[in-house]
Amino acid sequence: MSETLERWGSKRAFILAVTGAAVGLGNIWRFPYVAGENGGAAFLLIYVAFVLLLGIPVMMAEILIGRAGRRGPMQALGALAAEAGATPHWRWLGLFGALTVFCILSFYSVVSGWSIEFLVASVNGSFNGASAAEIGAGFEAFLANPGLQIFNHSLFLFMTMTVVAAGVAKGLERLNNLLMPLLYGLLLLLAGYASTTDGFGTALAWLFLPSFEALTPSVVVHAMGHAFFTLAVGACALMAYGAYMPEEQSLPRAAVAVAVLDISVALLAGIAIFSVVFAQGMDPADGPGLMFVTLPIAFSELPWGSVWLSVFFLLLLLATWTSAINLAEPMVATLQGLGLRRSISTAIVALSVWLIGLLSALSFSTLAEFRPLLGRNIFELVSSIPPDIFLPLGGLMIAIFAAWVMPRERVVSALGAGENGYIMWRIIIRWVSIPLTFVVLLAGLL
């Protein structure tokens, strides 16, 4: 088994790779619709607080485990547990992470497939001059078309798995370098345009002035799940990336940089989307279609609308692509760690995610009435339970492992923040992040 893996080319490359994993559907698609369903500003406030109190410290814990172990998640956890004299069962945490990303990737691929469809439609100018109602109806019809859902899901998964099969580091580095600044620039432009629309004031108030009646326990649970989801924390996916981290880099700085970028992408997307929602008199709680319906409307009102819209969907597709690659990596790394070849591991993961993903792809048509749990169909189940419950649970175990189990010297050196930085991190993770995640999870399960 290879112990010393390839390394990211530079510190910047590492930050970009983690940002690439973090920024994706979570920011642009999931944040607006989950915030829309959970009261807007109250949700935003709690989610940002969770990013600071849990997301960042646990992200550091997760990456430092990978960095100290320098192997795939299961092997890293097992080796570090043995070193600390703890039970080797910690390695199963790696498997739990792989299971979590498996569920997530199964719906992620379906929704990313929607971006492919929308990219093609905007290149063809299909949204030109269409009204909000027509775009909404078009989206519903697209969801209800099993063939198209399966086709786009398959295509996206194929794109993802080809990169994964080739090995991650080199290709991703180049892609992220270009993609992140472009995506950010385009969202800035869009938010700037949104500020000239009628809905802008209402959107700002709705996003930034919390009304505390809106703050229910379920909002808190969703906000915590979303904090983990959007940062890509809790599934050992970043752990796999930590294994490639350069020796001399400071982890806290990298984690804070990623979190700031991640939140700001979500905010820009939120401002753009909700300005349209309010300008058009739409309902913020409209569910998973929110972004797909609002942004074509917003862009169609700009000069050169369909060109901008095409660029936007292209960038979105690339952003989800880099996240999906990160989602697939821990599973492939796990199988590889068990002794399978990379190509075989990738093929197994691809095929099984494809199959399970079909259940989500068909949740809007053939399987719409198949509601095995809590009255929810498969898409609704896999897009809520793994992010809201599995990620925080995995994050909790990761935090406990790094904060209480690993030998102190290993953590200090893998954190790369000196003795003082270590003490600060340890106080926060032991006495804030771990208890808080535990309490919210418990509240969510009860």
Residues of this chain that interact with ligand PHE (CB under 6 A) are 21-22, 24-27, 101, 104, 229-230, 232, 235, 237, 323, 326-327
Read off the tokens for 253: 């700085």
In whole angstroms, the minimum distance from the beta carbon of 194 to ligand PHE comes to 21
Nearer to ligand PHE, 215 or 224 (CB): 224
In whole angstroms, the minimum distance from the beta carbon of 265 to ligand PHE comes to 9
Alpha helices in 144-250 (DSSP H): 146-166, 169-194, 200-208, 217-231, 237-242
* Strand (E) or helix (H) holding 393: helix 391-400
HSE value, Cβ hemisphere, 13 Å, CA-based, for 248: 4
Nearer to ligand PHE, 102 or 229 (CB): 229
Beta strands in 30-153 (DSSP E): none
Nearer to ligand PHE, 61 or 237 (CB): 237
Read off the tokens for 10: 């530079």
In whole angstroms, the minimum distance from the beta carbon of 159 to ligand PHE comes to 16
In whole angstroms, the minimum distance from the beta carbon of 85 to ligand PHE comes to 30
Nearer to ligand PHE, 55 or 337 (CB): 55
Q: Which residues pair with 373 in a beta bridge?
A: 376
In whole angstroms, the minimum distance from the beta carbon of 241 to ligand PHE comes to 10
Q: Hey, what long-range contacts does 378-387 have (CB within 8 A, 24 or more apart)?
A: 379/107, 379/110, 379/288, 382/103, 382/104, 382/106, 382/107, 383/107, 383/288, 384/225, 385/103, 386/100, 386/103, 386/104, 387/30, 387/104, 387/225, 387/226, 387/228, 387/229
In whole angstroms, the minimum distance from the beta carbon of 21 to ligand PHE comes to 5
In whole angstroms, the minimum distance from the beta carbon of 425 to ligand PHE comes to 21
In whole angstroms, the minimum distance from the beta carbon of 240 to ligand PHE comes to 10
Read off the tokens for 360: 């989500």
**431 secondary structure, DSSP code:** I
Nearer to ligand PHE, 34 or 220 (CB): 34
CA distance 140 to 266: 25
Nearer to ligand PHE, 18 or 293 (CB): 18
Nearer to ligand PHE, 316 or 359 (CB): 316
Q: Give the CB-nearest residue to ligand PHE.
A: 26
CA distances from 136 to 40, 358, 361 (A): 22, 23, 19
Q: How far is CA 176 from the centre of its chain?
A: 15
In whole angstroms, the minimum distance from the beta carbon of 104 to ligand PHE comes to 6
Closest CA to 135 of 363, 358, 306, 303: 306
Closest CA to 116 of 144, 138, 149, 165: 149
Residue-level length of the chain: 446
Nearer to ligand PHE, 21 or 400 (CB): 21
Contact (Cβ atoms closer than 8 angstroms) between residue 349 and residue 335? yes
In whole angstroms, the minimum distance from the beta carbon of 26 to ligand PHE comes to 2
Nearer to ligand PHE, 62 or 117 (CB): 62
Nearer to ligand PHE, 259 or 406 (CB): 259
Closest CA to 256 of 421, 73, 33: 421
